[in-house]
Amino acid sequence: MSVFLQIENLSVSYGAVRVLHGTSLSVEKGELVALLGASGCGKTTLLRTISGFIEAEKGQIRLEGEDITFQPPEKRDTAMVFQSYALWPHMTAFENIAYGLRLRKKSKAEITKTVSDTLDLLGLSEFGDRLVANLSGGQRQRVALGRALAVNPSLLLLDEPLSNLDARIRQHVRHEIKAIQNRLGITAVMVTHDREEAMVMADRIVVMNKGKIEQIGSPEELYNRPATAFVADFMGADNQISVEWRKDKNGCQISSVYGEPVALKSGEENGLSAPAGKGTLFFRSEAAMLVEAGTQPAENSFVLKGKVEQITYPGGFYRHAVRVGEQTFLVDHGAAFGQGAMVHLEIPTHRVHLFAA
C-alpha cells in the first residue's frame, strides 16, 4: 500500500474564523476513509478543500505525489457526489452520466460505451432513458455516483451521499456503494455524521471535533480502543461515571462513589500516565451484564448496584434504564427484568474506557 492522498498541516478559515487547525491525514490507494463528527466540526470544509472548492490557508494537499494545494477544482483529478444529488432532473439518467464526458470532449462512441458500462455497473441499465425526475431516491443517488465514476477520477469524494434517502434504502445503498468502490479499487473520502454508516462503509474512520482530528483508525479500533473521551462518547459508549484512580505496585485501583473499588489488570488502564487522579469511566450498554441483586460478583468486574426504572425493546434485546444513586445507566440484556427489580450491573474491566479528567 502506498500513500495516495496526503494532507499535511492544513488550515482553513472563513474570514477571521479558523475552522481547520493544522489537519494531517494520509489515505492509501483503494481505501474508503470516512470523516465523521458532529455538525459544524469541519468535515465538509475538509472535503471541499480537497476538491478545491475552498482554498487552503496553510498546509499542503498531495494527490499521487503531485502538489494540488492551489490547483483549481477542474484541474484536480477528483469527482464529488453530493447529498442533494445535483443531477439535471429534465435529463435522462444516460445524459446525466454522460455530462462530465461531454465536458471533456470525449468521442460519441466512447461516451456511449462508458455510460452503458456505468449503468450496468450500477444496476441501472434499464433506466438509461428515464428522466431523473422519474427515478426513486436510491436510483437517483446511483446516477449521481455513476456521473462521478464515469470520468474515472483518481479520487472520489462523497459528501453525505446517503442522507437524503430513507432509512431502509440507506442500508441497502451503503452496501452497494461500498461494493462498487471495492470492485473498482477506487480511493474515496466520504463525509458523514452517521456513526453506523461510517462503521459499515469505511476502511478507516477519521473522528473530528471542532476542526481537529481526535483519532484515526479502523472501525474496530475506534469502537474497542477509543483514544479520547470524545471518541468514546461519540462511538456510543453512553454510560459515564466519575472515578478516581490510584496506581500502586499491584496495578491500578479505580473507585467511584458507587460500589467497591476494583483493580484494573495491566494494559487496561488505557494509558493513564499520572500515578493518581480523577477521570471518567465509559461503558457501553451492551458491555455490562445485568444480574439479580445479591449474586456473587464476577471477577475483574466493576459492580454497580441499582434498581430497574424502565424497560424498552429496541429489537433483539431489552434495554434497561437502571437507577444507581443519582445516575441512570443503560444496560442491554436478552431477557427483561421486572420494573423495580433490584439488580447488579457487572462491567468487565477490559470493557471499560477510562480517561483522565
Ligand X SMILES: Nc1ncnc2c1ncn2[C@@H]1O[C@H](COP(=O)(O)OP(=O)(O)OP(=O)(O)O)[C@@H](O)[C@H]1O
Check binding of 325 to ligand X (CB under 6 A): no
Q: Which of residues 238-257 bind ligand X (CB under 6 A)?
A: none
Minimum gap (Å) between residue 218 Cβ and ligand X: 22
Check binding of 40 to ligand X (CB under 6 A): yes
All three cell numbers of 341: 427489580
Check binding of 14 to ligand X (CB under 6 A): yes
Check binding of 161 to ligand X (CB under 6 A): no
Minimum gap (Å) between residue 195 Cβ and ligand X: 13
Binding mask 84-113 for ligand X (x = CB under 6 A): ------------------------------
Q: Which stretch binds ligand X (CB under 6 A): 38-46, 74-82, 180-188, 296-304?
A: 38-46
Minimum gap (Å) between residue 173 Cβ and ligand X: 19
When the beta carbons of 40 and 123 are compared against ligand X, the nearer one is 40
Check binding of 37 to ligand X (CB under 6 A): yes
Which residues contact residue 109 at a Cβ distance below 8 angstroms, ignoring those fewer than 6 apart? Answer: none
Q: Please tell me the count of residues contacting ligand X according to CB under 6 A.
A: 11
Check binding of 313 to ligand X (CB under 6 A): no
When the beta carbons of 83 and 96 are compared against ligand X, the nearer one is 83
Residue 91 CA to residue 167 CA, distance in Å, equals 27
Dihedral over Cα of 301, 307, 308, 309: its sign: negative
When the beta carbons of 233 and 332 are compared against ligand X, the nearer one is 233
> DSSP assignment of 47-101, as one string?
HHHHHTSS--SEEEEEETTEE-TTS-GGGSSEEEE-TT----TTSBHHHHHHHHH
Residue 242 CA to residue 135 CA, distance in Å, equals 52
When the beta carbons of 97 and 165 are compared against ligand X, the nearer one is 165
DSSP 125: G
Q: Which of residues 182-221 bind ligand X (CB under 6 A)?
A: 193
Residue 21 CA to residue 209 CA, distance in Å, equals 11
Check binding of 135 to ligand X (CB under 6 A): no
| 340 φ/ψ sector (left φ>0, alpha ψ -120 to 50, else beta) | left
Question: Which one of 34, 43, 202, 235 is in contact with ligand X (CB under 6 A)?
Answer: 43
Q: Which stretch binds ligand X (CB under 6 A): 33-41, 69-77, 289-297, 334-342?
A: 33-41
Minimum gap (Å) between residue 41 Cβ and ligand X: 4
Check binding of 41 to ligand X (CB under 6 A): yes
Give the neighbor-by-neighbor strand order of the sheet with 289-292.
Answer: 289-292, 342-348, 301-312, 318-324, 327-333
Helix (H, G, I), strand (E, B) or coil at 134: helix
Check binding of 275 to ligand X (CB under 6 A): no
Q: Which stretch binds ligand X (CB under 6 A): 43-51, 110-118, 132-140, 345-353?
A: 43-51
Question: Which one of 1, 16, 39, 183 is in contact with ligand X (CB under 6 A)?
Answer: 39
Kind and range of the H or E run holding 224: helix 219-224
CA distances (Å), origin 217, targets 19, 204, 326, 345:
22, 5, 35, 30
Residue 63 CA to residue 329 CA, distance in Å, equals 46
Minimum gap (Å) between residue 15 Cβ and ligand X: 7
Residue 72 CA to residue 95 CA, distance in Å, equals 25
Minimum gap (Å) between residue 89 Cβ and ligand X: 24
Check binding of 16 to ligand X (CB under 6 A): no
Which residues contact residue 23 at a Cβ distance below 8 angstroms, ignoring those fewer than 6 apart? Answer: 7, 9, 10, 11, 42, 46, 59, 211, 212, 213
Minimum gap (Å) between residue 226 Cβ and ligand X: 19
Q: Which residues of this protein are in contact with ligand X, per CB under 6 A?
A: 14, 19, 37, 39-45, 193
